[in-house]
Structure 1
Amino acid sequence: MADGLSSDPSGGDVLATAEAWREAGRDVALATVVETWGSAPRPVGSHLVVDADGRFEGSVSGGCVEGAVVAEAVDVIADGQPKMLEFGVADETAWEVGLSCGGRIRVYVEKVS
């Protein structure tokens, strides 16, 4: 079990990790890139899996917004309510979290049950 970025940008390893973590009894959320505009660091379908302790594997932005997505995913695990997140260069929070590539991404975060 490795924490950090997955070597498989398609998310295949990440989905297997999500399943393994669930089978091990860990509470898990899955973040998925559902839409991109302009210069986006990861394609639609990219995944990030997060557990309740904030450990993660995969990538939804090549490192640009992972910290913010992990924090939101921990909240999703706690309350069970999915969230749609949006990051972009015009968004002040995008600069704070590092998405300055000129594009926008939408990330859907849901608890895995």
Structure 2
Amino acid sequence: MTDTTDSVLEQAAAWRDAGKGAALATVVTTWGSAPRPVGSQLAINEEAEFVGSVSGGCIEGAVVTEALEVIEDGKPRMLDFGVSNSQAWEVGLACGGKIQIWVERVN
């Protein structure tokens, strides 16, 4: 993903300034295999448009879904995703990992 942290934050602010609800998701911890480092961010608006990246695949889809709820109710959330090394091995992955993502509304 070519989006920088600055461009993700700028887009979130632009959506807010245009009167759209927006949320910001930030990777706060990782363990083992994680596709994005701590500090990676994803901005999401109320129409499910997004920029940036916090993971990929089904995790990123789940983060967008949670972000839409955060935009609606204003309650921030800590999201936990992970797979143990043994679970990873069962599905053909070399190792497991864990990622925690903080999602908050942009006010």
Q: TM-score when scaled to structure 1?
A: 0.80
- Which 4+ runs in 1 deviate beyond 2 A? none
Gap regions ≥5 residues in structure 1:
1-5
Partner of 2:101: 107
SS at match of 1:67: helix
Q: Trace 1:33-112 onto structure 2 (pairs within 5 A).
A: 33-90=27-84, 102-112=96-106
Matched, 1:26 2:3: no
Aligned to 1:7: 2
Please give the per-residue CA displacement for 1:22-74, whole angstroms capped at 9, x wherever unaligned. Answer: 11111000000000001110011100011112111110003451100000000
SS in 1 for 2:33: coil
Between the aligned partners of 1:12 and 1:66, the Cα distance in structure 2 is: 20
3-state SS of paired residue (1:65): helix
Cα separation, partners in 2 of 1:11 and 1:63, compared to 1, 3 Å? farther
| Larger helix fraction of residues | 2
The alignment-based identity, stated in percent, is 60
Cα distance in structure 2, aligned partners of 1:64 and 1:37? 18
SS at match of 2:69: helix
How many residues align? The count is 99
